[in-house]
Amino acid sequence: MAERTATIASRVGLHARPASIFAEAAAEQPVEVTIALEGEAPEEALDASSILSLMGLGAEHGTTVVLRAEGEGADAALETLVKILETDHDAE
């Protein structure tokens, strides 16, 4: 299983616009991706393509999250998604 950590860069955290951008990108990946707050057990991870799950995660600016995926293309998918999380979409 591939795993990456990312720090939420958007000033409002993973809410509204940033969550929408991330959920859409996660849904486009060839593998299922989960997201959890750093330190949470893998079984507590949520569906990264669900905007409701993302907003319920409570990830604020500076929060570290863990992305996980399994299967062909998992590493590339996670790299793409980490870049999205580590971009301040509120500054655009």
Active-site residues, by number, are 15
Let me know if residue 92 belongs to a domain: no
Q: Is residue 90 part of a domain?
A: no
Structural domains of the chain, count: 1
Q: Is 35 a domain residue?
A: yes
Residue 92 has pLDDT above 70, yes or no: no
Give residue 90's pLDDT: 74
Distance of CA 17 to the CA centre of its chain: 13
Q: How far apart are CA 72 and CA 50, in angstroms?
A: 21
DSSP state, residue 42: G
The two three-digit tokens of residue 74, written as one number: 């998992």
Q: Could you tell me which of 28, 22, 29, 89 has the C-alpha nearest to residue 54?
A: 22
Read off the CATH number of the domain in which 16 is found. Answer: 3.30.1340.10
Range of the domain at 61: 2-85
Output the average pLDDT for the chain: 95
The pTM of the full predicted model, rounded to 2 decimals, is: 0.95
Is 91 contained in some domain? no
For the segment 66-83, what is each residue's pLDDT rounded down to a tens digit? 999 999 999 999 999 999
